[in-house]
């Protein structure tokens, strides 16, 4: 019987996160104050984040110790298993060996708790009593609810109203973990009330929800805001995925030729890939592939520019690939990964040609997801399906070229609460959408007046 | 850092199922033909089940080899982890050590695929092309859809109409795995049409769905029916849970004083407990606890009698604890475990005092589930919460008595698709329901005319 998956024993769980800022060929460019155009200092963020996380955000230490209290909670579901997708290989008739890291086994069903637990801990030790955040479809809101339950923090989640109404299970999950979840725009913030005055039927957006969460966080001294992707400390916390995967691959005597992750804000991709990118910086040969939807092609078609992290333009300016902070993904896109911007770290790696980016339509992604579910059993999150689509393409290429190849991808989450997308796909109700070139050009025009980061493609 | 969970390496997965029929102090009494009152023979079931499974149903071999092809699919998610619930222990302040076997990591989110995969395999090797089954809330229907996808069988699921309408995600899950799922009563069987003629608004019942599935199965030579609980071969396939748990407990130097599982038809309870019941038969001291809802108190209050397995009275008579085959659980009961009867094997063990039964109300069960989710992270299936309630009670008793004690329970599934029950509980909309004594007495009266199995309480 051939081995199908590797469990890493608990005692071999990584004790440190890997901070790629220590190894970047070109250092990350700083966030800017939009009013002055000057780099912001830690104190500019002190009302939004606790100082211990701000320090982590700017640290260039290569290895950062995972606190025992964080490890203790991560061990609820970590180390996660590494699986060989042998049935998928057989179905494709490929000589490639396909491995996936299974982050769906967390209580929230995705990789998001890796940073939610860490953020809850750092806020707790800083004396914070309450965390506020936004959530779109609900993955991040439920992960933070779990993290806060683990450390006895209050948690308030502003959930985009259209998702709040369409996905009641996510709200119920947050409530079960003791969090409060309100539809955004809400009557509980002045920005929310303003939005509702303008349009009482307003269905909400991630940008509005972020603004409400930040507003609520900064009004209380013992409350802070928490973000589930994009920022450096979030990427840092996710590196435990790739560090575990490296040890598991090593146990199999394998090293990946290709590492694949889907990208929205960048956190699961960073998690699986940054430890391998480090090897690459030090001379190892490895292809690293970030996969996004054609409906939200930030890395493949967006300009590299300074831009706001939120639609309401209240955050510092971040150096990143972006489709413009007022970008609104089309409702016909059912595959997630809708964020207009991208982690500055992931963006920097792309400009430095250490990673590649590729975009797939949702039809090809869901097709890949259905193939995966019928061969490997697991029903992936729609986001994850983009990675699966790339893996299948790579495996077919290996077949055509008669080439032995080892592929590793991050199965970032399961799709138990996103089955309506599969249903629409199976019923032939989905269509592909490619962002028109005019929209890209419009963004490029708007961003001309913004500060430019030094390197670009 | 104290160990929190044990992964069993793949190569140590059990290669045989344990058949408790080999060790029963009193042999199981045979199913009877309702027309003749005589024991049925294998050929009486040949149109419903494939002969290889019928042979397994009546086998008294102690150890039955798990076919390599079945093991290969089980390895997608097995061995499942054994966790120590240390945070729950701390919350309760108990000296007891609490362990749980985590069956929620299967692609369908419960223990059900353990038998679905095996049944699909045996049907496949017998030349069957299509399996038909019924499902209530959808756990079993989705597990069989997965099993059939793994072996390339067609799968048709008759889903109780009220659940079909209320739980669309379950139907979508089955479709994703390639199965067909129709609301029952349907227009696709004569029994379904008859029901719809009588009441076009009929919301369905498990009994009607079983009848439709059997009718559809027997009309085609290459189709068979599949059942997800109650029968001996189903219990057999689930024993892999307890066999793995034994090895994992042994690795920790532990042996349980108490083994706990919730019971509906009996399969997850049998799975975790039968290997320990065997030890008990051979002299080991161990309390084995089956936990059911007060709204459907089959083991705690039902008579031990021959009764039909389905509401439409089309199956052979089975010797079991039963609330009567026309029993209808109250709609206010949101906790699952609604089956009127009980696995004959589990029933026999209770009459032989090898196991104990206990019933809990749904308020106590959901309270236990919420405590568990906020300490251990995982949101359990409502069914599983009954086991958690018993575990908490045992752990509190250990505290009062200042007694060291090792408790093991089966976390049979997660509650990601059953969150509306949690929501009702958290909103104070649930009430407890205890089946009135008159209903029990009415059942006892009705069953007086049925054949009596030899032993009773």
Write the residue in A5, A68, A71 that is nearest to B10 by C-beta: A5
Same domain, A364 and A247: yes
Residue A455 lies in a domain: no
Residue B72 lies in a domain: no
- Choosing from B231, B247, B268, the residue where a domain stops is B231
Same domain, B345 and B429: yes
Residue B331 has pLDDT above 80, yes or no: no
* pLDDT digits 0-9 by tens, A6-58: 999 999 999 999 999 999 999 999 999 999 999 999 999 999 999 999 999 99
Same domain, A354 and A369: yes
The total of structural domains in chain A comes to 2
Predicted pLDDT at A456: 47
* CATH code of A336's domain: 3.40.50.1100
Write the residue in A7, A173, A379 that is nearest to B379 by C-beta: A173
The answer for B 60-89 residues in CB contact with A (under 8 A) is 68, 71-73, 75-77, 81, 83
Residue A453 lies in a domain: no
Same domain, A304 and A428: yes
Residue B455 lies in a domain: no
* pLDDT digits 0-9 by tens, A269-281: 999 999 999 999 9
Residue A237 has pLDDT above 90, yes or no: yes
* Structural contact between residues B176 and B138, judged by C-beta atoms closer than 8 angstroms: no
Burial of A200 (0-12, 13-18, 19+ CB in 10 A): exposed
* pLDDT digits 0-9 by tens, A140-184: 999 999 999 999 999 999 999 988 998 899 999 999 999 999 999
Same domain, B140 and B151: yes
A320 near B CB under 8 A: no
Same domain, B319 and B226: no
Residue B169 lies in a domain: yes
CB contact under 8 A, A378 and B107: yes
Write the residue in A109, A149, A419 that is nearest to B169 by C-beta: A419
Taking CB atoms and an 8 Å cutoff, what residues of chain A touch B177?
Answer: 373-374, 379
Per-residue pLDDT band for A337 (boundaries 50, 70, 90) equals confident
Range of the domain at B290: 5-9+78-109+233-447
Per-residue pLDDT band for B455 (boundaries 50, 70, 90) equals low
Q: With pLDDT > 90 as the criterion, what percentage of chain A qualifies? A: 89
Residue B454 lies in a domain: no
Same domain, A258 and A327: yes
- Choosing from B231, B259, B275, the residue where a domain stops is B231
- Choosing from B206, B231, B256, the residue where a domain stops is B231
Residue B125 has pLDDT above 50, yes or no: yes
Average pLDDT over residues B344-370: 97
Taking CB atoms and an 8 Å cutoff, what residues of chain A touch B72?
Answer: 1, 4
Residue A455 has pLDDT above 70, yes or no: no
Strand, helix or coil for residue A323: coil
* pLDDT digits 0-9 by tens, B389-436: 999 999 999 999 999 999 999 999 999 999 999 999 999 999 999 999
Predicted pLDDT at B27: 93
For testing contact with chain A, the best of B108, B154, B169 (most A CBs within 10 A): B169
Same domain, B257 and B173: no
Predicted pLDDT at B1: 62
Residue B73 lies in a domain: no
pTM: 0.96
Same domain, A351 and A402: yes
The answer for A 415-454 residues in CB contact with B (under 8 A) is 416-417, 419-420, 422-423, 426
Predicted pLDDT at A239: 98
Residue A457 has pLDDT above 50, yes or no: no
CB contact under 8 A, B176 and A379: yes
* pLDDT digits 0-9 by tens, B241-265: 999 999 999 999 999 999 999 999 9
Taking CB atoms and an 8 Å cutoff, what residues of chain B touch A377?
Answer: 73, 76-77, 106-107, 146, 149-150
Same domain, A53 and A102: no
* pLDDT digits 0-9 by tens, A348-363: 999 999 999 999 999 9
Residue A103 has pLDDT above 70, yes or no: yes
Predicted pLDDT at B189: 95
CB contact under 8 A, A423 and B173: no
Same domain, A364 and A309: yes
Predicted pLDDT at B394: 98
Predicted pLDDT at B456: 47
* pLDDT digits 0-9 by tens, A374-425: 999 999 999 999 999 999 999 999 999 999 999 999 999 999 999 999 999 9
Residue A73 lies in a domain: no
Residue A81 has pLDDT above 60, yes or no: yes
Q: With pLDDT > 90 as the criterion, what percentage of chain B qualifies? A: 89
Across all residues in chain A, what is the average pLDDT? 95
* pLDDT digits 0-9 by tens, A179-198: 999 999 999 999 999 999 99
Burial of B445 (0-12, 13-18, 19+ CB in 10 A): exposed
Average pLDDT over residues B154-179: 94
Same domain, B169 and B37: yes
């Amino acid at each position: 019987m051939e081995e199908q998956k590797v469990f890493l024993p608990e005692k071999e769980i990584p004790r440190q996160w890997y901070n790629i800022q220590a190894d970047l060929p070109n250092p990350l460019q700083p966030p800017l104050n939009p009013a002055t155009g000057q780099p912001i200092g830690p104190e500019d963020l002190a009302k939004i984040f606790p100082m211990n996380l701000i320090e982590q955000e700017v640290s260039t230490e290569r290895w950062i110790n995972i606190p025992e209290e964080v490890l203790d909670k991560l061990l609820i579901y970590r180390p996660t298993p590494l699986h060989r997708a042998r049935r998928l290989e057989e179905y494709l008739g490929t000589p490639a060996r396909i491995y996936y890291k299974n982050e769906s086994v967390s209580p929230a069903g995705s990789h998001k708790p890796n940073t939610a637990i860490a953020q809850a801990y750092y806020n707790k030790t800083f004396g914070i009593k309450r965390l506020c955040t936004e959530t779109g479809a609900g993955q991040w809101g439920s992960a933070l609810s779990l993290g806060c339950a683990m450390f006895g923090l209050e948690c308030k989640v502003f959930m985009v109203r259209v998702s709040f109404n369409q996905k009641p299970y996510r709200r119920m999950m947050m409530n079960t973990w003791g969090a409060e979840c309100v539809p955004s725009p809400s009557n509980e913030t002045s920005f929310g009330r303003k939005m509702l005055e303008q349009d009482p039927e307003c269905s909400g957006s991630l940008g509005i929800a972020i603004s409400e969460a930040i507003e609520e966080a900064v009004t209380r001294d013992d409350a802070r805001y928490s973000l589930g992707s994009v920022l450096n400390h979030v990427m840092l916390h996710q590196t435990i995925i790739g560090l575990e995967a490296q040890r598991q691959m090593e146990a199999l005597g394998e090293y990946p030729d290709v590492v694949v992750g889907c990208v929205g804000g960048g956190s699961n991709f960073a998690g699986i890939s940054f430890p391998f990118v480090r090897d690459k910086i030090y001379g190892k040969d490895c292809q690293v592939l970030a996969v996004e939807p054609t409906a939200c092609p930030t890395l493949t078609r967006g300009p590299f520019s300074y831009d706001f992290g939120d639609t309401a333009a209240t955050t510092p300016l971040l150096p990143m690939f972006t489709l413009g902070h007022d970008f609104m993904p089309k409702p016909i896109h059912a595959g997630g990964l809708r964020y207009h911007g991208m982690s500055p770290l992931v963006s920097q790696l792309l400009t430095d040609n250490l990673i590649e980016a590729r975009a797939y339509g949702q039809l090809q992604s869901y097709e890949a997801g259905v193939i995966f579910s019928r061969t490997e059993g697991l029903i992936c999150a729609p986001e994850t399906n983009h990675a699966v689509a790339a893996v299948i393409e790579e495996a077919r290429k290996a077949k055509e070229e008669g080439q032995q190849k080892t592929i590793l991808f991050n199965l970032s989450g399961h799709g138990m609460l996103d089955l309506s997308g599969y249903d629409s796909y199976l019923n032939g109700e989905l269509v592909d959408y490619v962002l028109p070139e005019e929209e890209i050009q419009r963004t490029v025009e708007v961003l001309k007046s913004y500060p430019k980061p030094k390197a670009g493609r």
